[in-house]
Amino acid sequence: MYAKSFIALDSHNRLIGARTAQTAPDDRYCCHLCGSAMRFHPDYQTERPWFEHRQNTLTAQGRECPYVQPDREERRYIKMLRRYVPDAHPIVRKADWFCLSCNTGYYGERYCLVCQTGEHSTEVMADL
Ligand SMILES: [Zn+2]
Ligand SMILES: [Zn+2]
């Protein structure tokens, strides 16, 4: 169960938003976190286009990517939701994280770009 991503890298290695991709399509997209190839899903009705990881072209880091492995609670929620909305997809939450392995703080998806995993990252609470 892959999560929806709303940004990707285009064939020139530039970050591109899904809405921009809809108006100016490129032929190749990959994940800004793990570098795996992505498929673009245009959406002309609700204007909420998105990118999805392709099943058979994951990079080695792809297995650690939060878009490939959304957190357990989100997956449980989507499973339930699919009874009513069959094409529901998980969304990856963005927050402030701190990686204990390399002592780096970052904002975004739970995925440390230095360590290429989110495994050692813990959420930084804003009200500390
Ligand atoms: Zn990825
Ligand atoms: Zn790290």
> Which ligand has the nearest atom to the CA of 53?
1
Q: What distance in angstroms lies between residue 71's CA and the mean position of ligand 2's atoms?
A: 18
> Which ligand has the nearest atom to the CA of 36?
1
Q: Identify the residue whose tokens are 């792809």.
A: 62
Q: What distance in angstroms lies between residue 25's CA and the mean position of ligand 1's atoms?
A: 20
The pLDDT assigned to 19 comes to: 96
Q: What distance in angstroms lies between residue 58's CA and the mean position of ligand 1's atoms?
A: 8
What are the pLDDT digits (tens) for 33-64? 999 999 999 999 988 999 999 988 999 999 99
pTM: 0.88
The pLDDT assigned to 1 comes to: 86
Kindly state the helix (H) or strand (E) to which residue 97 belongs, with its residue range. Answer: strand 95-99
Q: List per-residue pLDDT tens for the chain, 128 residues long.
A: 899 999 999 999 999 999 999 999 999 999 999 999 999 999 999 889 999 999 889 999 999 999 999 989 999 999 999 999 998 999 999 999 999 999 999 999 999 999 999 999 999 987 65
Give yes or no for a contact between 90 and 78, defined as CB atoms under 8 angstroms apart. Answer: yes
Q: In what order do the strands lie in the sheet with 29-30?
A: 15-17, 7-9, 29-30, 37-41, 50-53
The pLDDT assigned to 126 comes to: 72
Tokens of residue 122, six digits: 């813990």
